[in-house]
Amino acid sequence: MKELSPIEWNNFHLKVLDQTLLPFQKKEIICKDYEDVAKAIKEMKLRGAPLIGIVAALAMAMEVKRSGADSYNKLSKVLYKAGDELVKTRPTAVNLKWAVDRMLRIMEMNKERRIESLKDLLIAEANKIYREDLENNKLIGKYGAELIREKDNILTHCNAGALATAGYGTALGVIRAANAGKKKITVYIDETRPYFQGARLTVFEMAEEKIPHYLITDNMAGYFMSKGVINVVVVGADRITAGGDVANKIGTYSLAVLAYANKIPFYVAAPSSTVDFSIKTGDQIPIEMRSEEEVKKIFGHDITLPKTKALHPAFDVTPAKYVSAIITEKGVIRAPYDVNLEKVLKNREAAANL
Ligand code: MRU
């Protein structure tokens, strides 16, 4: 079966599977420039921290091709403008700024090169960011599957799967690897109000691969944990601080506290590009506030009085103390996170013995 991928890139245009229509329709849109990509990110036609980083880099590669810039100054003007606009689309997922900064750094570090050679280098870098993500997810899956026991019932929240990355997924990468390892797992999927990434996207991925699963509403998680049905939680992340606090889809913090109270391991799966070493604690993470309409309507139908005031923080922060381990492409990292994240991700010390 062809591996699910949310995008197709032909080095000119970006074909995007419109995730607002899944799982009921498989429709693709074509993005021809960074404005198209920025619009698709804002409208959640594509979403997920690693994926919005990847498409930002590919959008900058599109601008390199389209720009016709014949000097470093002209090219740098084009790319800084595109980068700024892309970073403004959504504030919480650090992967977006990480990818834009990586592209701009490559440009600055090679400003002496002939312009055509610099352009080739930038396009190659964007492709590298895209390719690396899939490789990283396979490693995250491999390391994470070692934490999963035979017949585990795994709860996951939102969609941290192939649809949120270059493919395979982070949290769903762990689930895919455990399933491939014949661990006879069953997945419990939070519907993930208000945007239903769980009910629409994660169910879609699990059904496509025939991995056993149940859909539950977000407020059922505590019940199934207290009954000893759910025995491990695996989620993704949008930003992890140097101290190990984790921002992820709204509702994740509640799950972490429930897991802690029920002595259930709570794992976070994320590539190292999701770790923001510039901030120590979660209160410094910008939380996206999205439209209240996304709370008050389901598929365009009012579920409350139209004049009702609603609030919609799209992410929350789980303090490090509730996180049993962080699963990265460099291995499984445990507390104290302020020491071990640095050790493993910065000093390249092997995670195995931590
Ligand atoms: O608003 P979304 O759908 O972009 O939120 C996505 C999540 O919270 C994911 O769990 C996170 O980005 C990790 S994706 C591998």
239 pocket-lining for ligand 1 (C-beta < 6 Å): no
pLDDT given for residue 11 in this prediction:
84
> Ligand 1, from 158, 275, 327, 328: best to mutate by most atoms within 8 Å of Cβ?
158
Ligand 1 atom closest to 270 (CA): 15
In the numeric block, which tokens belong to residue 61? 């590669």
Determine if residue 53 is left, alpha or beta; phi over 0 gives left, psi from -120 to 50 gives alpha, anything else beta: alpha
Mean pLDDT value across residues 20-36? 97
d(CA 71, CA 69): 6
316 pocket-lining for ligand 1 (C-beta < 6 Å): no
Given the DSSP bridges, would you call strands 325-328 and 331-333 parallel, antiparallel or unpaired? antiparallel
Strands of 14-17's sheet in order across: 7-9, 14-17, 28-31
Helix (H, G, I), strand (E, B) or coil at 340: helix
Does position 353 have pLDDT exceeding 70, yes or no?
no
d(CA 42, CA 46): 8
- Tell me how many degrees the CA angle 218-299-212 measures, rounded to the nearest 5: 45
Q: Are 14 and 22 spatial neighbours (Cβ–Cβ below 8 Å)?
A: no
93 pocket-lining for ligand 1 (C-beta < 6 Å): yes
d(CA 248, CA 315): 5
Number of H helices and number of E strands within the chain? 11, 16
Q: What is the largest CA-CA distance in the chain?
A: 66
Q: What does the H/E/C string look like for 95-132?
A: HHHHHHHHHHHHHHHCCCCCHHHHHHHHHHHHHHHHHH
pLDDT tens digits, one per residue of 278-298: 999 999 999 999 999 999 999
d(CA 5, CA 164): 9
Mean pLDDT value across residues 176-189? 98
Q: Are 141 and 181 spatial neighbours (Cβ–Cβ below 8 Å)?
A: no
Nearest CA to ligand 1 atom 6: 48
Quickly count: other Cβ atoms within 10 Å of residue 339's Cβ.
Answer: 13
Mean pLDDT value across residues 22-27? 97
Residue 12 CB-density burial (10 A; 0-12 exposed, 13-18 middle, 19+ buried): exposed
Mean pLDDT value across residues 147-170? 98
In the numeric block, which tokens belong to residue 159? 């969609």
pLDDT given for residue 1 in this prediction:
64
Quickly count: other Cβ atoms within 10 Å of residue 347's Cβ.
Answer: 7
166 pocket-lining for ligand 1 (C-beta < 6 Å): no
Does position 352 have pLDDT exceeding 50, yes or no?
no
pLDDT band of 346, cuts 50, 70, 90 = confident
Residue 210 DSSP class: T
| Beta bridge pairs of residue 326 | 268, 333
Q: Rounded to two decimals, what is the model's pTM?
A: 0.97
Query: What is the Cα gyration radius of the chain?
Result: 20
pLDDT given for residue 272 in this prediction:
97
> Ligand 1, from 43, 96, 157, 238: best to mutate by most atoms within 8 Å of Cβ?
238
Given the DSSP bridges, would you call strands 28-31 and 14-17 parallel, antiparallel or unpaired? antiparallel
In DSSP notation, 52-90 reads: HHHHHHHHHHHHHHHH---SHHHHHHHHHHHHHHHHTS-
pLDDT given for residue 214 in this prediction:
98
pLDDT tens digits, one per residue of 243-285: 999 999 999 999 999 999 999 999 999 999 999 999 999 999 9
Q: How far is CA 68 from the centre of its chain?
A: 33
pLDDT tens digits, one per residue of 121-155: 999 999 999 999 999 999 999 999 999 999 999 99
